[in-house]
Chains A and B, each alone.
Chain A
Amino acid sequence: MRFKTELKNIRTFSKLTAALNSLEKIAWVRLDDDTARFTVIPDTGSQVWASLSMDFMFENYHIQSAEANNTINLELPLQPLQRALKSALNSTSASLRLTKKEGVPILSMTITTTTDSAAAPGQRSVASAAAAAAAAAATGVHSALDEDPFHDDDDDDAAAFAPEHLETSLRREREKIITQDIPVRVLHPETVETIMQPKVREPDVHIQLPPLLQLKAISDRFTKLALASSAGGATGRVGGGPRLELSANMHGSLRLRIATEAVDIASTWTGLENPQLDPAQLQGPLEEHPSALFREAGPDKWATVRVDGKDWSRVLSVGRLEGRVIACFADDHALILYVYVPQHDDSSAEDSVVTYYVTSYSA
């Protein structure tokens, strides 16, 4: 089993990891010749199935597996991955390799980076004073280095090197090689074959969500209000946060509502887009699709689901990916979000899709 690749789109990869990590610590990663799939299935809360083209963040990759379709299944902790990607953010190059160290399988990320002179804090105090002080102190601290005659606050980087190194340091940036070893577990195909992507009936309403940051701010506000009012003695829900009611119609409106004994607030967005369905993707004729019926029924026909306020907030953290988000409502049944992540370096390429199966509750 081999897997080796160079990384690209590191910023997007890092954001995706962060979004997944807000729901669950460990992801199931399935790699094959064409697709990299990241799946998180928390014990309670929303599931995510992110299907990305291998070209999306890998380059010059090499994958080799004895399993069918050249597939590699891994269990990958997201927090270390996120940390490793953070190291790689401003790197000159980064690569990923599946290997073994001391008997433990790891994904080893090798990052080449240079000294970041821009980040130098310019708070060096008067060097001569410091050196004199050091000399005065009887502990005999080695202070000669600080008496570098080339020192100059305006050129901190050059001053940090001894004179004979000055030339080389100007000629090229200092390279550092960082290795980040992420522990992984290789999964046997049998253990993952039972994990199935949820099947949900055709949605009643599909609608493009307003900017997620806005939606999240209001959702979080509602959740906090509900928490505050329930803390005052009203019936608190055992486990989980307050339930938010999300409704949408086929006439461009989305409604977010919180109702407790103490408060009942709703926000409504209008003028949103209900994207056209692709007839080729449908099993029956377009006119018989549930959404067509909802459209006919007019703007007062809402499809409604209830979500956990805290879980919903974690779901909305996907907003950092800056993708277009389509929400699909199956009335009183399910809510699915499709997040279309643009591929920045190749606008002709098809967007990758991250699918959120949002946990919903009956009334």
Chain B
Amino acid sequence: MAVLNLTLSEDAVVALRDALICLNKFSDDVSLEAQKDKLILTALNSSKSAYACFSFSATRFCSRYHFEGSSQNHEKFYCTLYIRALISIFRSRVGGDPQRDREKETLIDRCEVAIEDGPGVQSRFIAKLVFRNGIASTHRLPFEVVVPVHAKFNREEAVNHWTIPSRTLRQLMDHFGPGVELLDVNSDGEHVKFTCFTEKTVNGDEVLKKPLRTSIAIEVDEFEDLKIEDSLHIVINVRDFRAIIQHAGISGTNVMARYSGPARPLQLTYPGDAVSCEFLLMTVGERTANPPHKTKRGKSVNSTKGPRQQQLEAASRRQSAAPSEQLQGAPQPQASGHAQSRLGGAQPPPPQHPMLSAGSNVGRMSAFDLRPSQRPAPPPTMRSEGLFVDDYQWEPVHEDDEETEENARLEWDQSVQTAEPTSRMDRTMSDADETNEANADATQASSVGLEPTQRLSEVERMGLFFRE
């Protein structure tokens, strides 16, 4: 039974690929969530400090879209897919010789996607690509039914915001060198400063290996709709920011940032063509006792030595975490409050929580997931600390097994393939060189083709040959 059927035009395939490439910079897996009127792709990184969400308008993005729903859940369907497999299906087929007409024929005409799931049906994501030359290829991917995790953002709290063309941000990124990890955004009232740096401490001798520290001051005028607190330093991960700007630059729209203060999430949003993109990045730093919008912070960034790996808050929890709660119907505020208190780590629980957890994002929580998880063990990307209960005990075992197996194989390869035969071969060769240089080429040619099993007889024969 097909839960979802949709058809994508060539442009939509490209847009989908762009989104997937962006998501892949955050995670290996993408959560797909289908509803009657929209298709949502989300990814959360392994440290749970960055969250990406692409919400496609079903009717505008797809040339045909039909959501059936499953027998258990008519409202929505969700599953998790391996991003790289998807990217390779939707990969760019443009290439080869641009001069030739045939190249046009290999372009995608349309792509038909069906998701099959249900009792007695194999759970498969099926993509059928129809090319202009008449060839169609069908790809079937397995998926897991996992409740998507949505990070949440409280817009009321995020009093600081600015909007700027993605093109401008993209030009900024060009000035940042390699090796930088963090991006500090702050304002002195006239300029907004973007500073890229690293917190890595270096020893005396390695001072010169420090990456370039780049700071760019942009006039406030260049922003649209800017309102930020002076000298508030907000610090995020450069790599995440870069991934987002790269994608935003494709559509060239305006990017809007909203945030409150350190250790609270920063939201970046921009509209694409029939898609809206939202990213939440946890900001680095310590939360002061004062309410964030009143803080006047100096350069506190460099003084943060404690655990600075803050995590985003989840609006829903992984299914495996507590199956009992899944069956309670609508998620209770205290349930999510429970999840929040775990994610905190060293960070004191923000005071606004009780109100927030009943907020708008709760609607996205999956309340009706009655299917048992098909995931046997946590995926390797989910190295979480605290936000969710992971089945830790499974992972090390698997890893160890794989490692020892690999090592064993490596050793075996080395001893057999390289050590003995080649050294003997070399010796024969050098002997040969000394005795008869003119025939060096012949030696080389014959020794290259030797099978290890034949080496003794071959070597003897060659020795005779060269002694002649």
Contact = CB atoms under 8 A, between A and B. Distances in A.
B274 A87 contact: no
Contact of B448 (A26, A136, A182, A233): A233
B207 A133 contact: no
A101 B210 CA distance: 13
B444 A234 contact: yes
A146 B271 contact: yes
A174 B222 CA distance: 7
B398 interface: no
Interface string A160-171: 111001001000
Interface string B190-221: 01000000000000000111111111111101
A64 B275 CA distance: 58
Interface stretch (B23-31, B115-123, B249-257, B319-327): B249-257
Interface in A156-196: 156, 160-162, 165, 168, 174-185
A123 interface: yes
Contact of A176 (B53, B216, B274, B276): B216
B210 A133 contact: no
A83 B177 contact: yes
Interface stretch (B98-106, B160-168, B330-338, B412-420): B160-168
Contacts of B207: 104, 183, 185
A200 B171 CA distance: 48
B208 A75 contact: yes
A160 B211 CA distance: 33
A79 B249 CA distance: 27
A102 B201 CA distance: 12
A66 interface: no
Given A183-B208, A261-B440, A138 B175 contact: no
Nearest to A76: B208
Interface stretch (B54-62, B370-378, B385-393): B54-62
A130 B441 contact: no
A200 B441 CA distance: 39
Given A124-B252, A137-B55, A176-B216, A130 B273 contact: yes
B250 A123 contact: yes
Nearest to B225: A145
A120 interface: yes
Contacts of A116: 171
B214 A179 contact: yes
A130 B269 contact: no
A180 B214 contact: yes
A347 interface: no
A235 B444 CA distance: 10
Interface in A226-276: 232-235, 261-262
Contacts of A76: 208
A145 B254 contact: yes
A139 B215 contact: no
B208 A141 contact: no
- Is the interface on chain A under 10, 10 to 19, 20 to 34, or 35 or more residues? 35 or more
Q: Which of A76, A77, A133, A175 has the most CB of B within 10 A?
A: A133
A80 interface: yes
A98 B28 CA distance: 44
B302 interface: yes
B317 interface: no
A106 B215 CA distance: 14
Given A160-B165, A234-B444, A143 B271 contact: yes
Interface in A116-160: 116, 119-121, 123-127, 129-134, 136-139, 141-143, 145-146, 156, 160
B272 interface: yes
A65 interface: no
Contacts of A174: 218-219, 221-222
Interface residues of B, number: 64
A161 B165 CA distance: 9
Interface string B36-61: 01100000000000000101110111
Contacts of B270: 141
A354 interface: no
A182 B210 CA distance: 8
B209 A77 contact: yes
Interface in B268-290: 269-278
Contact of A115 (B174, B209, B222, B252): B222
Contact of A181 (B213, B250, B274): B213
A163 B210 CA distance: 43
B215 A178 contact: yes
Contacts of A136: 37-38, 57, 59-60
Contacts of B271: 130-131, 133-134, 141, 143, 146
Contacts of A341: none
Given A83-B178, A136-B57, A235-B430, 18 more contacts: A84-B212, A119-B171, A121-B249, A129-B273, A133-B57, A133-B273, A143-B271, A145-B163, A145-B254, A176-B172, A176-B216, A178-B217, A179-B215, A180-B214, A181-B213, A182-B212, A261-B441, A262-B444
Interface of B: 37-38, 53, 55-57, 59-61, 163, 165, 167-168, 171-172, 174-175, 177-178, 191, 207-219, 221-222, 224-225, 249-254, 256, 269-278, 302, 425, 429-430, 433, 440-441, 444, 447-448
Interface of A: 26, 75-77, 79-80, 83-84, 87, 101-102, 104, 106, 115-116, 119-121, 123-127, 129-134, 136-139, 141-143, 145-146, 156, 160-162, 165, 168, 174-185, 232-235, 261-262
28 contacts: A77-B208, A83-B212, A101-B213, A116-B171, A119-B171, A120-B252, A124-B252, A125-B272, A129-B273, A130-B251, A133-B57, A133-B61, A142-B163, A145-B254, A160-B165, A162-B225, A168-B221, A174-B218, A174-B221, A178-B215, A179-B214, A179-B217, A181-B212, A181-B213, A232-B448, A233-B425, A233-B447, A261-B444
